[in-house]
Structure 1
């Protein structure tokens, strides 16, 4: 049977996600919170997650069938209770049954490794039981009994704020990686030449920058750049079709963009 899961972008309308952003004090740690609520749904919802350096803290608040399949190797992840879902190097297709209620904390690149003292390599395409990592083992129960999404966001802001105060400051390697990621997100650097220029402006060799990325976020700078520009290009393609300007995202032609889609997700841009 053909996989029919689709990518959902944060600014789209009509999807089953609720999204909220963290308090200003947590912006360096949390990208955003989101919730999948299929309490009144009559059909399953399939969502494709793109490769990314972010990690997820997932809380299953209501027992329901949930499966997630790595599109590259077919490995099935079974979510039971709270889990830490590591960064993805290939897309992952998840299916949620009617009645599902799941709450997620989307952590920024490298933050899970710092927060839970885990080597990034151990998180790649992996899942770990969250209760043994999280310093608030009661959080899952609190989220389940909370009075709605806004209350769950408040509880997480409070819990993460306490944890953040106990973390060591970022070292210079993490600061360099964060600087690079901001450049990638702004699309100021879209290709190999841009990456070489970035190394020069930071006075580091690519070999050093590669070590910094691997030790903090678990992927190479080239892969990070590739995933960021692909997501932005796919979002533009979704709104403009074949008329989108692939050059704006560092692609030499449309087939270059389609090749990245196939490598990262196993699908053509149209199927995403």
Structure 2
């Protein structure tokens, strides 16, 4: 399955975080063993994810899997749990008995809660025990339900965040910059965004590198490609590249290739 092109959500259940964490976490999710068996016909399968610069926890509740990150392959054992930044294309090669619990953070959200610069995670597979207490991970694994797992981790994150509020200024500026870019039809330049935030280009550049781990230009180009491609897949007849700051369809097509490594013609959308 390929993210955006295919409906990978059909084998997962999702829940949004509580209001206090909504700015920092996109969602909690957990794959369904029953749905996986139904849709994957008890066959091994691959999930391909495109760059999003969203730190992600994968807590393994099922089988071992293979992870391909930056052209390097990792063998993740059934008892192993990982953290990745998703700054590049990621592929998970799964057995039919795959069962994974996911926490997907917003850009900068992981740093706001844990105080660990997001940029340090680029191109790495980090053992989750380096971030979460081992006892907490084991308790999450022993719990029977998705809702209880989510509640346990939410309470932990809330306590962590209370200790990190003093460092939230960078995150708030980056969040506002991302909102400004979206509200500006994804056409604003870095200079225009800085002007809207009463800041300098240099300040916005430094904040993005500190919080997201990449430059504003790189992040915004990724965000635009993800957003536009998602809308194109939903309804290509109504899709207009001008709604996302592209000059024309050719400009959009080139960005899709740059973003996914594939041409649209290679996928039936």
State the TM bucket, normalised to the shorter chain.
0.7 to 0.9
Distance 1:174 1:14 in 2: 28
CA distance in 2, matches of 1:77, 1:112: 23
Identify the residue that residue 126 of structure 1 maps to in structure 2.
124
**Alpha-carbon distance change, 16 to 7 in structure 1, aligned in 2, over 3 angstroms:** same
- Equivalent positions of 1:159-174 (< 5 A) are 159-174=156-171
- Counterpart of 2:102 in 1: which secondary structure? strand
For the structure 1 residues 201 and 187, does the alpha-carbon distance in structure 2 shift closer, same or farther, using more than 3 Å as the test?
Answer: closer
The answer on 1:99 being equivalent to 2:97 is yes
> 2:84: which partner in 1?
85
Partner of 1:29: 24
Count of aligned positions: 260
Counterparts in 2 of 1:239-258, with a 5 A limit?
239-241=234-236, 243-258=238-253
- Structure 1 residue corresponding to 2:148, chosen from 139, 144, 151: 151
What is the rounded CA distance, in whole Å, between the counterparts of 2:66 and 2:44 in structure 1?
11
Specify whether residues 97 and 152 from structure 1 end up closer, same or farther in structure 2 by C-alpha distance, changes over 3 A only.
Answer: same
- CA-atom RMSD in angstroms: 2.4
Q: Deviations over 1:95-116 (max 9, x none)?
A: 2211111101111211223444
Q: Helix, strand or coil for the counterpart of 1:57?
A: strand
2:3 matched to which residue of 1?
7
Q: Which residue of 2 aligns with 1:214?
A: 209
- Where do 5+ consecutive residues of structure 2 fail to align? none
Q: Secondary structure at the match of 1:197?
A: helix
- Say whether residues 1:190 and 2:190 are aligned partners: no
Structure 1 pair 77/111, CA: closer, same or farther in 2 (3 Å)?
Answer: farther
Aligned partners of 1:239 and 1:171: how far apart in 2? 35
| 2: CA distance, partners of 1:23 / 1:270 | 40
Structure with the larger helix share: 2
Q: CA deviation at 1:179?
A: 0.2
Find the aligned partners of 1:219 and 1:67 in 2 and give their Cα distance.
27
Q: Is the 8 A contact 2:54 2:107 kept in 1?
A: yes
Rounded Cα–Cα distance in structure 1 between residues aligned with 2:245 and 2:145: 42
TM-score by length of 1: 0.86
